[in-house]
Amino acid sequence: MINIQNGRFHSSSIFPLRILFLSCVCSLNFACKPGEALRIGGQDIFSFGAQESCHFNRNSYGVRISWKDVTPMTMIIHKSVPPEFDAAIIAAAQKWNSGKGKNLITVFRDDTWDSSPTSDKKNGIYWMLDWDEDTAKEQARTSTRYDLSRIIDSDIRINAKNFVYFHDLHTMNSSSEVHLQSLLVHEFGHALGLQHFIESGVMLPTLKGGVIRDEPSTYELKELGCEY
Amino acid sequence: MNINQRKKRILILAGLFLFLTAGFAFLVSMKMTDQQRKLASMIDQANPDWTPGQKLKWAITKQFNIQVLDQEILMATPMAVEICTGNHGLGIKLQANEIMVAGQNPQIKISIACEALLAKTDYKFSIPLKTVLQLHKSKELKTDTLQFRTLNVFSDDEWPTEWTLSEIEVIGQNGFTINQFELQEAQQKIFTISIPEKL
């Protein structure tokens, strides 16, 4: 990935110079392999051939969609979430941070914040007591908005109507209960831009009751490295 | 540094600049022709090596049109007769822009039976926006002439207002699909339509 230092252009005379500089690097080093992208203003706006997906969604120009340089992504625990689950949510975020060795996700609670899940450039985790009957089997859902190639908003809804969640095996009352930390590790993966994996790992599309699966696999961390 | 050395340096820098500019222009042209090269078999309609099926697909792709007008999505398929020969329907897939759910874009699939398509003498088919917007609450809908199905469209999520035509499917024994890139290549544009949340 070719990067411009501060990603911003200050005047029309500097912009073409940066393009020229980057093209110089490409031409001299023949570094423009398929998938190389030009990042300008924090956006990948030009790709030399479609990028490999690395299990990220791509826009119509074949460019992967992610937070780009705008990390850490800040997730706000909405007041609807029972406080006893805060530790599990924070631990879920740490699984990705420690796996990559960098601060990708920060989580904090804000009980004064009263927004509902919407495209407001604030990333929230919500405890939903109402859930569509058609999707009653869905444990959670992450909706992500993006602009060109950069994610600008991610909201996680947890289905508290149809599921009961547990912290650890000592607090599990029934094998149908869902391990919240495992669920959040999965949803944070989506919030970062990852799609489902068919290989093993936290990004498998289904999580059975009573199962603890909260460690991103080596492969998942490698794929995440395509963007972070 | 004397004048000659300075001149030499300027010449070297100028030469380097020209070389790099040419290199950049080359890379840009390679990028721009990449899609064309990939779809080389579809570019030349008069290519005698094309099968009748390839020529038909190209012609359908070239002539297809979709736009939003006031209260409807208007779809034009001048080759409806050819589409429906040996087939029973036409499907289009719309993909929401700038929103993903669980890493996938929301989608709407609309299927039209050939009987309905051929009933229109001008082969222009209208899809009421009012019906499309019901999909915000219903996963599937059926009318006399149309079938709708959604993926990743949820009633408690905002309605995506910007959609791209991502696929056309001819449904039937001689069916085939036309993807977004083939459409782009044939028509030199991406079909993007706006569907407001409220009419």
pLDDT of residue B26: 76
Q: Does B103 touch chain A (CB under 8 A)?
A: yes
Cα(A227)–Cα(B193) distance, integer angstroms = 30
pLDDT of residue A40: 66
Task: Give chain A positions within 8 Å (CB) of B23.
Answer: 23-24, 26-28
Which is more confidently placed, A112 or A200?
A112
Cα(B89)–Cα(B74) distance, integer angstroms = 17
Nearest to A225 by CA among A43, A100, A101, A92: A100
- pLDDT band with cut points at 50, 70 and 90 for residue A19: low
pLDDT of residue A150: 95
CB distance B23–A27 less than 8 Å?
Answer: yes
Residue B174 has what DSSP assignment? T
Cβ proximity of B98 and A145 under 8 Å: yes
Cα(B182)–Cα(B170) distance, integer angstroms = 14
Task: Give chain B positions within 8 Å (CB) of A144.
Answer: 99-101, 103
Cβ proximity of A85 and A165 under 8 Å: yes
Q: Quote the minimal CA–CA distance from B18 to chain A in Å.
A: 10
Residue B104 in 3-state DSSP?
strand
| Beta-carbon count within 10 A of B163 CB | 24
- Among B24, B101, B190, select the one facing A141 at the smallest CB separation: B101
Strands A140-147 and A123-128, sheet pairing: unpaired
Q: Quote the minimal CA–CA distance from B102 to chain A in Å.
A: 5
Q: Cα torsion for B150, B154, B160, B165, to the nearest 10°? A: -10
| Beta-carbon count within 10 A of A165 CB | 25
In which residue are the tokens 């995506």 written? Answer: B160
- Among A65, A132, A195, select the one facing B156 at the smallest CB separation: A132
Say how many CB pairs under 8 Å bridge A and B. 85
The pLDDT tens digits for A139-163 are: 999 999 999 899 999 999 999 999 9
Does residue A8 surpass a pLDDT of 70? Answer: no
The pLDDT tens digits for A113-126 are: 989 999 999 999 99
B-chain residue closest to A55, CA distance: B103
CB distance B157–A117 less than 8 Å?
Answer: yes
Interface test with chain B among A141, A198, A224, by most B beta carbons within 10 Å: A141
CB distance A20–B104 less than 8 Å?
Answer: no
Task: Give chain B positions within 8 Å (CB) of A157.
Answer: 156
CA atoms within 13 A on the CB side of A61: 20
Q: Does B20 touch chain A (CB under 8 A)?
A: yes
Q: What is the pTM of this model?
A: 0.78
Cα(A203)–Cα(A217) distance, integer angstroms = 9
pLDDT of residue A45: 65
Cβ proximity of B57 and B73 under 8 Å: no
- B85-114 per-residue burial string, b: 16 or more CB within 10 A, e: under 16: eebebbbbbbbbbbbbbbbbbbbbbbbbbb
Cis peptide before A72 (omega within 30 of 0): yes
Cβ proximity of A156 and A72 under 8 Å: no
Task: Give chain B positions within 8 Å (CB) of A134.
Answer: 139
Q: What mean pLDDT value characterizes chain A?
A: 85
CB distance A143–B100 less than 8 Å?
Answer: yes
pLDDT of residue A188: 98
Does residue A164 surpass a pLDDT of 80? Answer: yes
Q: Does A186 touch chain B (CB under 8 A)?
A: no
Q: Quote the minimal CA–CA distance from B159 to chain A in Å.
A: 10
Cα(B182)–Cα(A61) distance, integer angstroms = 14
Q: What is the pLDDT along chain B (199 residues), one digit of tens a residue?
A: 688 888 889 998 998 989 888 888 877 766 555 544 444 444 455 466 778 888 888 888 988 999 998 889 999 888 889 899 999 999 999 999 999 999 899 999 999 999 998 888 788 888 999 999 999 999 899 998 899 999 999 998 989 999 999 999 999 998 999 998 889 888 888 899 999 988 8
SS3 per residue for chain A: CECCCCCCCCCCCHHHHHHHHHHHHHHHHCCCCCCCEEEECCEEEEECCCCCCCCECECCCCCECECCCCCCEEEEECCCCCHHHHHHHHHHHHHHHHHHCCCCEEEEECCCCCCCCCCCCCEEEEEECCCCHHHCCCCEEEEEEEECCEEEEEEEEEECCCCCEECCHHHCCCCCCEEHHHHHHHHHHHHCCECCCCCCCCCCCCCCCCCCCCCCCHHHHHHHCCCC
| Longest pairwise C-alpha distance within chain A | 66
The pLDDT tens digits for B17-39 are: 898 888 888 777 665 555 444 44
> What value does the mean pLDDT take over residues A182-202?
95
The pLDDT tens digits for A198-228 are: 988 999 999 999 999 999 999 999 999 999 9
Q: Please, which residues 112-171 of chain B have a Cβ atom closer than 8 Å to chain A?
A: 139, 154-158, 164
